[in-house]
Amino acid sequence: MFRVARFPAVLGSDPAADIALSDAMVAAKHAELRYLLGRLVIADLGAPEGVFVNGQRIASPARLQPGDVLRLGNTLLGVEIGGFTKPAEPAPLVTGPSEESKVPPFGFYLFKRGVVTPEQLAAAAQRQVEFRELGQKKALGQVLLEMGYVTPEQLEQAVREQQDDFRELHADVKWR
pLDDT digits (tens, 9 = 90+) for 29-40: 999 998 876 788
- Above 60 in pLDDT, residue 93? no
- Above 70 in pLDDT, residue 170? no
Fold of 9-78: Tumour Suppressor Smad4 (2.60.200)
Q: Confirm if 103 and 166 have CB atoms less than 8 A apart.
A: yes
Residues of the chain with CATH 2.60.200.20: 9-78
Whole-number mean pLDDT of the chain? 81
Rg of the chain on CA atoms, in Å: 20
pLDDT of residue 127: 86
**pTM recorded for the entire structure:** 0.48
pLDDT of residue 109: 84
- Above 60 in pLDDT, residue 166? yes
The whole-angstrom separation of Cα 99 and Cα 155 is: 25
The whole-angstrom separation of Cα 99 and Cα 128 is: 25
Single-letter amino acid code for the residue at 175: W
- Above 90 in pLDDT, residue 82? no
- Above 70 in pLDDT, residue 134? yes
User: How far from 47 is each of 19, 73, 100, 141, 171, CA to CA, in Å?
Assistant: 15, 9, 29, 33, 42
Band (pLDDT 50/70/90 cuts) for residue 122 is confident
